[in-house]
Amino acid sequence: MKIRVTGFDPFGGEAVNPAFEAVKRLPRKIAGSGVEILEIPTVFHTSIRVIMDRAEETGADRILMVGQAGGRFEITVERIGINVDDARIPDNEGNQPIHVPIDPEGPAAYFATLPVKAITEGIRSCGIPARISKTAGTFVCNHVLYGVLKETAKRNLPVKAGFIHVPFLPGQAVSRDGVPSMSAETITAALKAAVEAVAAVDEDLKISGGLKH
């Protein structure tokens, strides 16, 4: 199995992005599967093209995308990508779409096709806080989750895809009072556990991952 793991470049004035800082530390072979890493631009539409172009060039059985979610305490495994761009800040090329669909003719949402519950449990088994998230936001993270799921479905590709959000690094949080952080080493360990679950599990676990409200 070939698993591609992507991480964004820094955005929003940050000097680093914890997503790619952790992704680039991953072993290139995990659980018998080849791991290929890819840094992608924090830019609407271009980010999707970069991922899909590389998938066409070199192939991929699974695509695990990783992004920064400053302010979140845990590793969060995204369940769904929604068909809207609503950017609070510009992307790295100055684009700031506000309340516009990613695909005007596409469905309202796509569910991640990677085993989100197995991934979450795999991370937790390493003693790292993790939960399933019902929102990937409305910035470029949600944009690539929706876009890649749309492209794999549209092209009828036998590729499963999903997205994980990670907290700030300590260096990013040090000047932000009360903002949580997680070390690059811990995030990398969480992503390694996630890749192990992706490699091992086809049908997701039948366990509760819902919320009351």
Catalytic positions, please? 78, 141, 165
Report the interhelical angle of 116-124 vs 184-200 (nearest 10°). Answer: 130
d(CA 119, CA 64): 11
Sequence-separated (6 or more) residues with CB below 8 Å from residue 22 = 7, 66, 166, 184, 187, 188, 190, 191
